Amino acid sequence: MSTRRAVPAGIGSYLPAQMVTNEELSRTVDTTHDWIVERTGIHRRHIAAEGEATSDLALHAARRALDHAGIGIGDIDLIVLATATPDQTFPATATRVQQALGMSHGFAFDVQAVCSGFVYALSVATQFIETGKARGALVIGAETFSRILDWSDRSTCVLFGDGAGALVLRGEDGNGNNDDRGVLSTELRSDGAHNAALFVDGGPSTTGIAGHLRMNGREVFKHAVRNLAEIGEAALESAGLAASDVRWIVPHQANARIIASTAQKMGVDMERVIVTVQDHANTSAASIPLALDVAVRDGRVRRGDLLLLEAMGGGFTWGGAVLRW
Ligand code: UT7
């Protein structure tokens, strides 16, 4: 029996032009290149220019993904955009991208799950495609975290960067087994008991201003490895697969130590893990599609490869997705 699958058709990403090294940061923040590299693996990050909004980053990434897929906007009837740094409180940043792409059909909306946003958005878009409610989707992760950082707080401001990534999905019929190309499973979790470990101290219905990111890094770290390994195993199990079947893990890029510990816990060699945190820092919902774009374009990820995506972020939220490229 044939099964409708959400199949990857193209990928694209965008980084703002301005790149800031750890050395440069250490001139304005009480930190050092060595501390940042040792604790996080980060060497540099990109920062959006004045006037450059999340939707601008998303638009560049979306155009590149459509070009890569070789399709026009007429073949897309759904945009799901994951962000915790929208242009405005409303309308959804996705609708701004929709308008800029010249798309006046279909529907577009935002998903908010902070650093897990891309996996959540991928899961949502997959349901629409599998049920036949959408034929083609743009799944975007786009962030301008530089706008919500407290640049006087060295324990957070050195960790994040701006960027966007976009994935084109198309509905295609598969055989219903895990040899099919496309999204084979997604698993999502959240636990609001941990709101206070990673949050923004503002918002429209509380302070009336956007606010700044606050994080208890050690607390997040403690939960990250366990949650990521568990969700990775759960996503694989629901597709009837094991970690040994995975060609590439494409994890959320927050910290090289979290990435390495999670891979070790799952018994996956680091040679099968895509790592871009050194170049992008933590770009929240943009980090997975940014990393995936790098690995597709440099030829590591090839058609037919089995991928495991996994992320964890504020909420806490966490999620995993298994897809065959
Ligand atoms: O996307 C999901 C969200 N985020 C994460 O996944 C982040 C999870 N957490 C982490 O990655 C790590 O906890 C951090 C990288 C944030 C921090 O690493 P750590 O090894 O947990 O360091 P720490 O917070 O225990 O701080 C160690 C020391 C402290 O000094 P004392 O108290 O030991 O004297 C900090 O004041 O490092 C100090 N410190 C810094 N020193 C230089 C904190 N930030 C800096 C800095 N430069 N930028």
Q: Which helix (H) or strand (E) holds 6?
A: strand 3-14
**Domain stops at, among 174, 209, 242:** 174
Distance CA 158, CA 215 (A): 12
> Phi first, then psi: what are they for 223, rounded to 5°?
-80, -25
Closest CA to 202 of 147, 121, 281: 147
10 Å Cβ neighbour count for 75? 15
Residue 95 and residue 278: Cα distance in Å, rounded? 32
Compute the residue count for the chain.
325
Alpha-carbon span 101 to 37, nearest angstrom: 38
CB distance 147 to 283 below 8 Å: no
Which residue, by CA, sits nearest to atom 48 of ligand 1?
Answer: 154
Residue nearest to atom 18 of ligand 1 (CA): 39
Mean pLDDT of 222-229: 96
Would you call the peptide bond into 91 cis, given omega within 30 degrees of 0 as the criterion? yes
Q: Does residue 250 sit in the same domain as residue 229?
A: yes
pTM for this entry = 0.98
- Which pair of tokens denotes residue 51? 């006037």
Instruction: Report the nearest-CA residue for atom 17 of ligand 1.
Output: 217
My answer on whether 196 and 289 are in the same domain is yes
Pick the atom of ligand 1 nearest to 115's CA: 1
Query: How far, in Å, is the centroid of ligand 1 from the Cα of 262?
Result: 18
Same domain? For 211 and 251 the reply is yes
Residues in contact with ligand 1 (CB, 6 Å cut-off): 31, 35, 39-40, 115, 154-155, 158-159, 198, 217-218, 220-221, 224, 252, 254-255, 258, 282, 312-313
79: domain CATH number is 3.40.47.10
Q: Is 153 exposed, middle or buried (0-12, 13-18, 19+ CB in 10 A)?
A: middle
Q: Is the pLDDT of residue 251 over 90?
A: yes
Q: What is the mean pLDDT of residues 85-107?
A: 98
Domain count, the chain: 2
Identify the domain boundary among 127, 145, 174: 174
Residue 2 pLDDT class (50, 70, 90 cuts): confident
214/153 same-domain check: no
For 71, the domain range is: 3-174
Nearest CA to ligand 1 atom 40: 155
Mutate to test the pocket of ligand 1, among 29, 39, 213 (most ligand atoms within 8 A of CB): 39
User: Are the CB atoms for 122 and 321 separated by under 8 Å?
Assistant: yes
44 and 92 inside one domain: yes
Q: Given this model, what pLDDT does residue 317 score?
A: 98
Both 133 and 225 in a single domain? no
Pairing outcome for strands 317-324 and 306-313: antiparallel
pLDDT tens, position by position, 146-177: 999 999 999 999 999 999 999 999 999 999 99
100 with 214, same domain: the answer is: no
- Say if residue 162 is in the same domain as residue 197: no
C-alpha radius of gyration, the chain, whole number:
18
Residues marked active site are found at 115, 252, 282
Residues pairing with 172 in the sheet: 5
